[in-house]
């Protein structure tokens, strides 16, 4: 892969001790990041964790209170103009002018990035299938659906062929087909063109499927970082999850004493048992729960998800933060 | 599932600085494209000055001679023009951009920050001059003639346009400081003291009491005197220079406020 997004072999995105305070509140509280050229980095966290504030600092919209960051080898504070020439940004809300047509917005983007009319036309042609708006491209944006706006927003971020692409929750509000399409395009931009992609999301599946590495941010700090596989493996090879009726604390010691059980977590009426060999342990878990007098409503054997990782490192499930918006077509 | 195909065989297209003037024209072009698409903003701006011109002339022209005004149509035409151009701006659209996040999209591009505001002002200048034309046409229909000839008509339009431009700084300053559409709409209230506490209906020498004092300090008094001179008296520098000075003074103040607000808005703090 011919990776773009940096100068002279450095990191595409580097942040060192990045802090952003709003009054007494530290929205971002000492974030260190290193995203390699050509990487898709998933920045995962619930609402209010500091994802968007971090992105706004990296794209030069917000100055850090302290710390330092470079994007495409340029300092976001001292060389913001150089950074802006090298990045594409699709912010959380599809930011479009409703009075213009889709084509006018894209042509304006091209002009602002110094593209000639011919170059912009070529890029529009290249991006045509991603935009997938057909004749609607010549209609005003105010009549667009949420999905159409999102696709146009993404295209606007790509008109000038950026080295580093920032996508702040790019599939929020998209239907499953459009979401799939954006995922494919993100993957393809990365695979074929080597575009470095910094992707914030609160959707576990999105981070899992797209990101080469994932950083989990919670309360303004990076709580864990690694490849999705490594992160999930850190929780355990397999998880046995028991939903119980009533408190299950009484079974914990007995479960911990079982062979091949690495960890037991209790969260309300749910027990999570981490083990390297789920099929062998699940039966023993059922027996131990029975012997402890715990009434089991459901016993599940599954592999860990990023949500389990999130629970492990923050003590909360990411889905608790309202991830149901994923399905509500907002 | 359709695969998106970027042509990798051709030379890669990349971003580069567009330059201040191209940025300025891009922003102005976008603003001008939006004008006819917002008739709800354009139509009142067109109707109000014509309405006031027609009503004032119709109702006051017979008694204007008591105040020493011989040609009330000529006396009122500059007032209608001031009504047409004062407070016309793209400030509401700017607030919409701020609220929708489109302003942020512009800010993450390498566009010149000053062109973001100046581009809107260029569009405003074009618009206010365009708004002057129907009022001017009505004046001609009512028999108003220019002592300064066609060049005087051009100077009249230019001075009116520059006044409109000078005034735009106030709503832009409010838009950029607050990002609040209600605050921008309320900036229209500035229009009233400027437009009415002046020689809108009577010549300066006929004003008395506090109104005479306020009118002495109102820059619109000097603007109206300049515009009236172009119609009735000729190239009278004693009237034109104060008019230009009044426009420049208001422009200096309002632009200072607007560009200070722009710097505060784009400062990434």
Instruction: Give percent above pLDDT 70 in chain A.
Output: 93
d(CA A241, CA A264): 10
pLDDT over threshold 60, residue A308: yes
CATH of domain A237-303: 3.30.70.100
> Is some CB atom of chain B closer than 8 A to the CB atom of A100?
yes
Q: What confidence score (pLDDT) does residue A234 get?
A: 86
pLDDT at residue number A6: 54
CB pair distance less than 8 Å for A113 and B109: yes
> What is the H or E stretch that residue B110 is in?
none
Is the CB of A60 inside 8 Å of chain B's CB atoms?
Answer: yes
pLDDT greater than 60 at residue A3? no
Write out residues 208-267 of A within 8 Å (CB-CB) of B: none
Supply the pLDDT for residue A330. 26
Q: What is the pLDDT of residue A83?
A: 96
Q: What is the pLDDT of residue A213?
A: 96
Q: What pTM, to 2 d.p., does this model score?
A: 0.83
Closest CA–CA distance from residue A88 to any residue of chain B (Å): 8
The 10s digit of each residue's pLDDT in A171-199 is 877 788 878 888 888 888 888 878 999 99
- Give every CB contact of residue B182 below 8 A, 6+ residues apart in sequence: none
Chain B positions with Cβ closer than 8 Å to A: 1-8, 10, 12-19, 22-23, 26, 29-30, 33-34, 37-38, 93, 96-97, 100-102, 104-111, 267-269
A290 against B249, higher pLDDT? B249
Give the highest mean pLDDT range of A43-57, A153-167, A270-284, B250-264. B250-264
Extract the residue ranges of chain B whose pLDDT is less than 70: 1-11, 268-269
Highest mean pLDDT among A54-58, A166-170, A250-254, B71-75: A54-58
Give the confidence band of A105 by pLDDT, cuts at 50, 70, 90.
very high
Q: Which of A80, A97, A126 sits opposite B6 (nearest CB)?
A: A126
Q: What is the mean pLDDT of chain A?
A: 86
What's the 3-state SS for chain A?
CCCCCCCCCCCCEEEEEEEEEECCEEEEEEEEEEECCCCEEEEECCCCCCHHHHHHHHCCCCCCCEEEEEECCEECCCCHHHHHHHEEEECCCCCCCCCCEHHHHHHHHHHHCCCCHHHHHHHHHHHHHHHCCHHHHHCEHHHCCHHHHHHHHHHHHHCCCCCEEEEECCCCCCCHHHHHHHHHHHHHHHHHHCCEEEEEECCHHHHHHHCCEEEEEECCEEEEEECHHHHHHHHCCEEEEEEEECCCHHHHHHHHCCCCCCEEEEECCEEEEEECCHHHHHHHHHHHHHHCCCEEEEEEEECCCHHHHHHHHHCCCHHHHCHHHHCCCC
pLDDT band at A323 (very low <50, low <70, confident <90, very high): very low
Q: Write down the domain spans for chain B.
A: 20-266
Structural fold of domain A13-227: Rossmann fold (3.40.50)
The confidence score (pLDDT) of residue B3 equals: 35
Residue B269's pLDDT is 54
Q: B6 and A192: CB-CB below 8 Å?
A: yes
> For residue A2, what pLDDT is reported?
47
Look at B62 and A25; give whichever has higher pLDDT.
A25
- Angstrom CA distances, A8 to A77, A173, A195, A212, B12, stand at 20, 38, 16, 22, 19
Domain range summary for chain A, segments of one domain joined by +? 13-227, 237-303
ipTM of the assembly?
A: 0.83
Which two structure tokens, joined as six digits, stand for B111?
Answer: 């566009």
Give per-residue pLDDT as tens, A253-267: 889 889 888 888 888
Residue B7's pLDDT is 41
Distance CA A156, CA A136 (A): 15
């Amino acid at each position: 892969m011919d990776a773009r997004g940096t100068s002279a072999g450095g990191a595409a995105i580097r942040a060192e001790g990045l802090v952003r305070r709003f009054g007494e509140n530290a929205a971002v509280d000492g974030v260190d990041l290193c995203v390699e050229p050509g990487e898709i980095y998933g920045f995962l966290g619930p609402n209010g964790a500091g994802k968007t504030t971090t992105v706004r600092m990296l794209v030069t919209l917000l100055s850090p209170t302290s710390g330092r960051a470079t994007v495409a080898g340029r300092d976001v504070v001292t060389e913001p103009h150089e950074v802006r020439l090298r990045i594409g940004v699709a912010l959380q809300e599809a930011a479009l002018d409703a009075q213009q047509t889709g084509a006018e917005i894209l042509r304006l983007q091209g002009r602002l990035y110094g593209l000639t009319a011919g170059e912009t036309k070529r890029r529009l042609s290249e991006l045509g299938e991603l935009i997938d708006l057909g004749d609607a491209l010549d209609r005003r944006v105010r009549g667009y659906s949420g999905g159409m706006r999102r696709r146009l927003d993404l295209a606007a971020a790509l008109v000038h062929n950026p080295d580093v692409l920032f996508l702040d929750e790019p599939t929020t509000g998209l239907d499953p087909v459009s979401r799939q399409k954006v995922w494919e395009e993100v993957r393809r931009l990365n695979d074929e063109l080597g575009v470095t992609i910094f992707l914030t999301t609160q959707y576990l599946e999105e981070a899992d499927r797209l990101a080469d590495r994932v950083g989990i941010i919670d309360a303004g700090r990076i709580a864990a970082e690694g490849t999705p596989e490594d992160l999930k493996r850190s929780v355990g090879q397999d998880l046995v999850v028991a939903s119980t009726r009533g408190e299950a604390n009484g079974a914990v010691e007995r479960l911990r004493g079982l062979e091949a059980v690495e960890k037991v977590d209790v969260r309300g009426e749910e027990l999570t048992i981490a083990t390297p060999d789920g099929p062998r342990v699940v039966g023993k878990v059922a027996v131990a729960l029975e012997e402890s007098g715990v009434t089991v409503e459901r016993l599940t054997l599954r592999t860990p998800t990023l949500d389990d990782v999130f629970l492990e490192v923050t003590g909360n499930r990411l889905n608790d933060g309202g991830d149901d918006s994923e399905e509500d077509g907002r | 599932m359709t695969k998106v195909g970027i042509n990798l065989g051709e030379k890669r297209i990349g971003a580069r600085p567009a330059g201040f003037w191209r940025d300025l024209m891009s922003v102005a072009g976008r603003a001008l494209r939006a004008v006819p698409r917002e008739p709800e903003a354009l139509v009142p701006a067109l109707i109000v000055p014509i309405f006031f011109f027609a009503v004032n002339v119709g109702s006051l022209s017979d008694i204007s001679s008591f105040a020493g005004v011989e040609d009330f149509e000529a006396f009122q035409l500059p007032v209608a023009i001031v009504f047409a151009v004062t407070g016309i701006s793209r400030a509401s659209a700017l607030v919409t951009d701020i609220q929708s996040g489109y302003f942020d999209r512009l800010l993450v591009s390498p566009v010149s920050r000053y062109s973001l505001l100046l581009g809107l002002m260029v569009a405003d200048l074009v618009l206010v001059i365009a708004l002057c034309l129907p009022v001017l046409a009505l004046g001609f229909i009512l028999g108003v003639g220019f002592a300064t000839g066609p060049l005087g008509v051009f100077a009249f339009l230019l001075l009116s346009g520059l006044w409109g431009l000078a005034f735009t700084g106030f709503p832009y300053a409010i838009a950029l400081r607050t990002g609040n559409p209600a605050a921008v709409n309320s900036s229209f209230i500035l229009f009233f003291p400027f437009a009415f506490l002046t020689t809108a209906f009577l010549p300066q020498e006929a004003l008395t009491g506090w109104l005479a004092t306020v009118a002495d300090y109102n820059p619109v008094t000097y603007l109206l005197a300049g515009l009236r001179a172009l119609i009735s008296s000729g190239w009278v520098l004693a009237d034109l220079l104060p008019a230009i000075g009044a426009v420049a003074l208001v422009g200096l103040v309002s632009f200072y406020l607007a560009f200070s607000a722009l710097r505060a808005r784009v400062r990434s703090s």
